[in-house]
Structure 1
Amino acid sequence: MSPTPPERGGYADAATAPILSGMYPDPSICRVGEEYFLANSSFEYSPGVPIWHSRDLVSWRQIGNALTRDEQFPAGRSPSSRGIYAPTLRHHDGRFWLITTNIDDVRGGHQIYHASDPAGPWSAPVCLSQLDGIDPDLTWDDEGTCLVTYCSWSETEIGIRQVAVDLERRLVLEKPRWIWHGTGLAHSEGPHLYRRGDRWYLVIAEGGTDRGHVVSVARSLSPRGPFEAAAHNPVFTHRSTAHPVQNVGHADLVERPDGSWAAVYLGTRPRGRSPRFHVNGRETFLADVRWVDDWPQFEPARRHVPTEQRDFEDDFSAPALDPRWVSPGQRPDRFVHNAPEGVVVGHVPSETGEPSGLFTRVGGDHWEADFVVDPDEGTFTVALRLDGVHWYGLHVAGGEVTAVAQIGPVRSVLRARPLPGSPVTLRVRSTEPTWNGPDDIELGIDDGTDTDVLARLDGRYLSTEVAGGFTGRLVGVWTESREVVVRRVRYSERRA
């Protein structure tokens, strides 16, 4: 059985529910005809930059990952919350174009890729090593000149710079120019440029990607400026409100075929007692955009999101791994191979010490993940991971399974029990909180009749508010020695 799509059993309001639940931050979107394509940041995880397809902006299917080779993203060399930062995805002259920043690449600068099919393969990068900063954007002026607009950290200034480039000759054509320093808030970043009518609009993020996050806009008659800021900036924010979606910003706009506009943006869903805790990372949300006096006005999207579109059951019988599977260490194709009964996961170290394992993002309010494995003589761990030093897991070795909690430098070994006969189902579950946090995490083993819960742990310690960084939770399996056969993984999200 190959990975099967879920039945569409329920819907949620797009004003408060993400269109992509889980760690899918910094969304960038483009439209080709009736179809939409979207890319996200991926940080240390490989393969990098998930690529999505939709026809309605609320039902999305992952069609691939853009960065699948070492020449694009050297796997296993980026520690937690580093690696691949915010991309921009565009379509121009029959090609898809992707620009992003790998902040750990020795080649430096922003990197540009192209593909005829957004599902891949994507080209080797054009590296703009002369440029500093992050969050690059691609657009083309009326003469067809490509402009890269980005967040610059040059010298003592932070703001938005721009430079013309020749993609065919791989040349930067001019000295970078400052075009806007924002409205005076911190961290002017995430720029995107759009043409609408006679004007060009520069949309940026400000305030940092935490609770003060906002969207601001300026406009000009030229993509090179000078830019006039909207008098009512910020044009979109949830700061200092009780809205269930916080940290909103880093928006990218798209025009629908009927001439109306929408925006995708990142947000978080903090829960629990103050300061409240978000655990899924920054997720992708949808807004409607209405133009008032030739300025964009963000409004709640009047759409419904399928609540079960992330559920899956995978028995790994397909010839290739589903694109949902990623690794914080080496790429999966270096330590995973097919077997008649599932996939074999081996042990391959990474330069950073991050585990080379099969991981998938989690995202619901509450959820359950079952890993059906043949332990054999391997030593391995099934775990929920926020980063390399914040995870809860089930460690299997020597015929026993042990619940383990890693919180910073402290590793706690909790209850252990003998393994039942093979295969065995190891279960990680997010459930209702008992410690005023976002959730509790249960670590258990299914013995065929019931779940033996070895530990129930406070979910706050696997949150961004505790661990810091830019990522969210993933659940997966890695080995410390020998191999383990993973027969099947089932994952389902439940809304509280």
Structure 2
Amino acid sequence: MTEYSNPVLSGFHPDPSVCRVGDTFYLASSSFEYFPGIPLHSSTDLVTWNRIGHAIDRPGQVPLHDVNDSGGLYAPTLRHHDGLFYLACTVVGGEHPGSFYLTATDAAGPWSEPVWLDDAQGIDPTIHFADGKAWWAGCRPAASPEWEQQTEIWLRELDLDAGTLVGEEHVLWTGALRGAVWSEGPHLFDHDGWVYLVTAEGGTERNHAVSIARSRSVTGPFEGCPRNPILTHRHLGEDFPVQNVGHADLVEAEDGSWWALVLGVRSLDGFHVLGRETFLTPVAWQDGWPVLNPGVGRLSETGSTPWPGGTPRPATLHDDFTASTALGAHWLSIRGPADFVDSGGDGLVLLSTDTDLSGDGTPAFLGMRLRDPEMRASMRVAPPKHATAGLALRQSAAFHLRLELSMDEHGWRADAIAHENGVDSVVGTVLGDLDPANGDMTLAAELHGLEVRFSITVGADTHTVAEADARILSSERAGGFVGTLVGPFVAGGLGAAVTVRSFHYRPGLS
């Protein structure tokens, strides 16, 4: 038995899609504008998830260089059939928007080049195998909407040999409830002679929900569950600590038990800064319909699965770049590979690009997912010359917090900056004399609920620079679909650089 605390995959891991091969479960989630894209995890207990790779991990595999913030890779579906993994996804925005699928013999990769389906309309595609055929379903605005933002789930056969959609199109579903908006994120699965269609509904905010329908045929007609929605937290009020629950995928374990992975957010005073995370709940079958977390009717804070526990990932992370400049899989860059990283020197060298954190393109920023409501992130750097370097908490180009360090002939300067709706506000400044004996400097950010405290350590002295409002990082304030990333950056024009000696992340503030 393995006990768990929700979420089981913390930090920005939205839109979970799960499948099982033997006794191993595999999970894919959205990554939007970040690279590498579509993180993949495996688990034998549905609790301990180990990152095994990314589906999009090569330059040019899927173009992301010009997608907007919260554009890019949306809502993948992961399935396994006849020895192959299949991953369906959508690129939103940029020069090559549209839907595609990849294949791999191993979920850890390598994954194939994308097969683009030019006539696959909309977003959130899924792939399903039935009756000796492959089927493709997606979400798009309803052709004849009865209300604003009504969508429809459509389906066509997928010819895997030709890599094209063929045959008649079928509209499967337009939402469980009258007036329901954004019936999306479809997943199809089989159980007891029925084909089930599970969808998200209500938009991925406070009204998010999970609904389900079934049919004897993959092409329909589908009937809705009389208990729809089968999971939501929208009726629990704005003060409930887990909100925005929806976008589920269901999976049968080897022992015949059923489980659902769903997204949700941990909310504090109506704001969440970590992004949409992955939660787990058991499923029971009653009268031919799934009941999620029977007897409770909502996500539980804790639970257990019947299998032995795996090896959990360390809560604390430490990268010593003086020992190795290889980037771990937890590091992400924006819209493309981190070509601005140079492994030369005694540490990780970040070279400024032609854009900064407030611009488009790929700024010289490396970020890892913020995954704890209380945490401390710190980095030790060599004093930057002819550059502005620092530690940033990024939600988007228009909404982020950063601690900037700069040098001149008089000494050093640390500025804490809140960048909200595209405008910089300096919320605190500390100045210091230049002393060669001080050597490296440590920049730190501590998150406590809805407050971020920035500090700088020079020699033996630690200076608090400012306390900043973390609500700037929330989706409620900033919009968008991503969570917060934390990590080093450098700016100051081409040729500017900073050497990062180490980076440390730990949950809690003790």
TM-score, normalised relative to structure 2 = 0.88
Cα deviation 1:75-101 (Å, max 9, x = unaligned): 432221111110011111111111110
CA distance in 2, matches of 1:31, 1:152: 28
Residue 367 of structure 1: aligned partner:
375
Query: Which runs of structure 2 are paired with 1:242-261 in the superposition (5 Å)?
Result: 242=237, 243-261=240-258
Match of 1:487 in 2: 501
Aligned 8 A contact 1:47 1:331 in 2: yes
State the alpha-carbon separation in 2 of the partners of residues 308 and 364 from structure 1. 14
Out of 133, 143, 146, the residue aligned to residue 134 of structure 2 is 146
Is the 1:99–1:137 contact (alpha carbons within 8 Å) kept by the matching residues of 2? Answer: yes
Deviation of residue 106 (structure 1)?
3.2
Partner of 1:174, secondary structure, is strand
User: Could you tell me how far apart the structure 2 residues matched to 1:427 and 1:308 are?
Assistant: 23
2:402 maps to 1:407: no
Paired residue secondary structure (2:41): strand
Report matched runs for 1:130-209 at 5 Å.
Answer: 130-143=119-132, 145-153=133-141, 155-157=143-145, 158-183=151-176, 184=178, 185-209=180-204
The Cα offsets for residues 322-344 of structure 1, whole Å up to 9 and x where unpaired, read as 11111124421x11132463321
Match of 1:7 in 2: none
Question: Is structure 2 residue 216 aligned with structure 1 residue 221?
Answer: yes
The one-letter amino acid of 2:450's match is D
The count of residues paired between Structure 1 and Structure 2 equals 473
Please state whether the residue corresponding to 1:232 is helix, strand or coil.
coil
Q: Per-residue deviation at 1:57?
A: 0.9
- Cα separation, 1, equivalents of 2:157 and 2:368: 38
1:97 and 2:86 are equivalent in the alignment? yes
Is 1:303 the counterpart of 2:304 in the alignment? yes
Q: What SS does the aligned partner of 1:387 have?
A: coil
Unaligned stretches of 5+ residues in structure 1: 1-10, 432-437
Alignment correspondent of 1:434: none
Moved more, 389-398 or 227-236: 389-398
Q: Which structure 2 residue ranges, 5 or more long, are not aligned?
A: 146-150, 294-299
Cα gap change, 1:226/1:37 in structure 2, threshold over 3 Å: closer, same or farther? same
How far, CA to CA, are the matches of 2:313 and 2:28 in structure 1?
Answer: 21
Verify: 1:325 aligned to 2:331, yes or no.
yes
**Contact 1:373–1:422 (CA under 8 A) maintained in structure 2:** no
- Asked if structure 2 preserves the Cα contact closer than 8 Å seen for 1:329 and 1:349, the reply is no
Decide whether aligned partners of structure 1 residues 61 and 340 sit closer, same or farther in structure 2, where only a CA change above 3 A counts: farther
Q: Secondary structure at the match of 2:477?
A: helix
Whether the aligned pair in 1 keeps the contact of 2:333 and 2:367 (CA below 8 Å) is yes
- Residue identity (%): 40
- Give the equivalent residue in structure 2 for 1:392: 401
Which among 475, 484, 496 is matched to residue 486 of structure 2?
A: 475
Residue by residue, what CA displacement relative to the aligned partner does 1:421-454 show, whole Å, maximum 9, x if unpaired? 33211101102xxxxxx42101111234453110
Decide whether aligned partners of structure 1 residues 495 and 166 sit closer, same or farther in structure 2, where only a CA change above 3 A counts: farther
Residue number in structure 2 paired with 1:416? 430
* Deviation string, structure 1 residues 460-481 (Cα, Å, up to 9, x no partner): 2221111111111111122214
CA–CA distance in 1 between the matches of 2:96 and 2:399?
30
Structure 1 CA distance, aligned partners of 2:403 and 2:457?
12
The change in CA–CA distance for 1:416 and 1:78 in structure 2 (over 3 A counts) is farther
- Aligned pairs for 1:449-464 within 5 A: 449=460, 451-464=462-475
Higher relative contact order, structure no. (Cα contacts within 8 Å, ≥ 6 residues apart): 1
State the distance in 1 between where 2:324 and 2:123 align.
Answer: 37
Aligned-partner residue type, residue 498 of structure 2: V
- TM-score, normalised to structure 1, is 0.90
Please give the root-mean-square deviation of Cα atoms over the aligned residues, in Å: 2.2
SS of the counterpart of 1:64?
A: strand
